[in-house]
Chain A
Amino acid sequence: MPFDNRNTLRMSAVIILLGGMMSVAQADDDHEHHEGGRRAVATNAAWQEECGSCHVAFPPRLLPAESWREMMSGLDKHFGTDASLEPAVAQEIAAFLEQNAGKRKPDPVAKPLLRISETRWFIREHDEVPQRVWKNPLVKSPANCAACHTLAESGDYRERNIRMPK
Chain B
Amino acid sequence: MSRINTLLVLLLVVMSGLAVQPACAETFGQFMAEFARSAKSSPGFQSFSAANGEQFFKSTHGNEWSCASCHTEDPANSGKHAKTSKVIKPLAPLVNPERFTDPTKVEKWFKRNCNDVLARACTPQEKGDVLTYLLTIGK
List the interface of chain A (C-beta within 8 A of B).
1-4, 7, 10-11, 13-14, 17, 20-21, 24, 54-56, 76, 79-86, 140-141, 143-144, 146-147
Contact = CB atoms under 8 A, between A and B. Distances in A.
A143 B83 CA distance: 10
A14 B112 contact: no
B11 A80 contact: no
B55 interface: no
Contacts, number: 64
B112 A3 contact: no
A7 B84 contact: no
B30 A14 contact: no
Given A1-B107, A7-B26, A20-B11, 8 more contacts: A1-B34, A7-B23, A10-B21, A54-B83, A55-B81, A81-B116, A143-B84, A144-B84
A123 to B, nearest CB: 20
5 interchain residue pairs of minimum CB distance: A82-B115, A82-B112, A55-B84, A1-B103, A10-B18
Interface in B1-43: 4, 8, 11-12, 15, 18-19, 21, 23, 26-27, 30, 34
Given A1-B30, A10-B18, A54 B8 contact: no
